[in-house]
Amino acid sequence: MTDSTIWPDRRAFWSERRVVVTGGAGFLGSFVVERLRTLEPAAIVAPRSREYDLREREAIRQLLADARPDLIIHLAARVGGIEANREHPAEFFYDNLMMGVQLLHESWRAGVGKFVAIGTVCAYPKLTPIPFKEEDLWNGYPEETNAPYGMAKKMLLVQSQSYREQYGFNSIFLLPVNLYGPRDNFDLHTSHVIPALIRKCIEARESGADKIVAWGDGSPTREFLYVEDAAEGILLAAERYNSSEPVNLGSAYEISIRELTELVARLTGFNGRIVWDTSKPNGQPRRKLDTTRARERFGFVSHTPFEEGLQRTIAWYERQRAVGLT
């Protein structure tokens, strides 16, 4: 059965739209662009940073003049794990703020029909009640290690709501939980927890090491969303959602970092010890989203079971290592 049979309206929505996907060559962006191609829009433009530095207003204006988009999906971001956020808080704040705020403003000025802004679960307060509900976004300050990044992305929500109220600009704001999957960043210095653990376990297995070191004490919990599911959620929202109320995108599956580490070790075939370095930060104590709004407003439900998604991710990374691409 084809997508057009399941969703007869989907290609009709995209067929006359010129779409810009910032960050379209990145981890999430590459899957959004792939899925978008199957929906056959009039044009897809995925600008590269070497051609258009989105921190610069003139570069944004040039992109909009060149691409003439009807719809923008803004995925471009400076991202990284706890260590990268701790070492570069100013850049994480400035780069993300300037890209987002200027792009949304110039898109409004240029008459773009719709703007899809991608936020982050890091925008939530450190001690948000579980599950995280969208109305809790302003009930405290984010967890300190990634607050600059979280706050910079959160400003897009304020801007979206302000521009809708004053100008009637159709912009939406989505809050994906932690993503994982093939094509993720496996650099131990800048990666997030899942690719870091996969790499550590595989390298330890291959070298015969008897242990790996994991950060913190393993007690925090996280929710993870498979990248292809996230891409589908973003495109469904782009098609069907027209409000500046924020919307969570997640899987609603919560797992502790300790359980995650043990699972990755098992799936990668690493049989050694796991040593917890408690001198390193845990990050936010718990993360689990309420995904009711996404289901009710635009019909998004994640479909990839967590262990299956991990197996796909590990298999992809093993293939990359086998041909010397990592």
Residue 314 has pLDDT above 70, yes or no: yes
**Pairing verdict, β 221-226 and 114-118:** unpaired
Query: Is residue 163 annotated as part of the catalytic site, yes or no?
Result: no
Residue 305 has pLDDT above 70, yes or no: yes
Average pLDDT over residues 238-260: 97
Per-residue pLDDT tens over the stretch 88-130: 899 999 999 999 999 999 999 999 999 999 999 999 999 999 9
Distance (Å, whole) CA 152 – CA 163: 17
Tokens of 155: 């400003």
Mapping DSSP onto H, E and C, the string for 10-54 reads HHHHHCCCEEEEECCCCHHHHHHHHHHHHCCCCEEECCCCCCCCC
User: What pLDDT score does 80 carry?
Assistant: 77
Residue 6 has pLDDT above 60, yes or no: no
Residue 4 has pLDDT above 50, yes or no: no
Q: How confident is residue 213, by pLDDT bands cut at 50, 70 and 90?
A: very high
CATH 2.60.120.10 fits 3-181+224-254+286-304, yes or no: no
Residue 1 has pLDDT above 50, yes or no: no
**Cβ neighbours of 152 (radius 10 Å):** 25
Average pLDDT over residues 226-244: 98
Q: How confident is residue 150, by pLDDT bands cut at 50, 70 and 90?
A: very high
Q: How confident is residue 3, by pLDDT bands cut at 50, 70 and 90?
A: very low
User: What pLDDT score does 86 carry?
Assistant: 87
Name the active-site residue from 149, 180, 226, 241. 149
> Which string of b and e fits 174-196 if b means at least 16 CB within 10 Å?
bbbbbbbbbbbbbeeebbbbbbb
Q: How confident is residue 156, by pLDDT bands cut at 50, 70 and 90?
A: very high
Question: Is 118 within 8 Å of 100 (Cβ atoms)?
Answer: no
> Which string of b and e fits 58-84 if b means at least 16 CB within 10 Å?
ebbeebbeebebbbbbbbbbbbbbbbb
**Cβ neighbours of 239 (radius 10 Å):** 20
Q: How confident is residue 8, by pLDDT bands cut at 50, 70 and 90?
A: low
Average pLDDT over residues 268-283: 94
Domain extents for the chain? 3-181+224-254+286-304
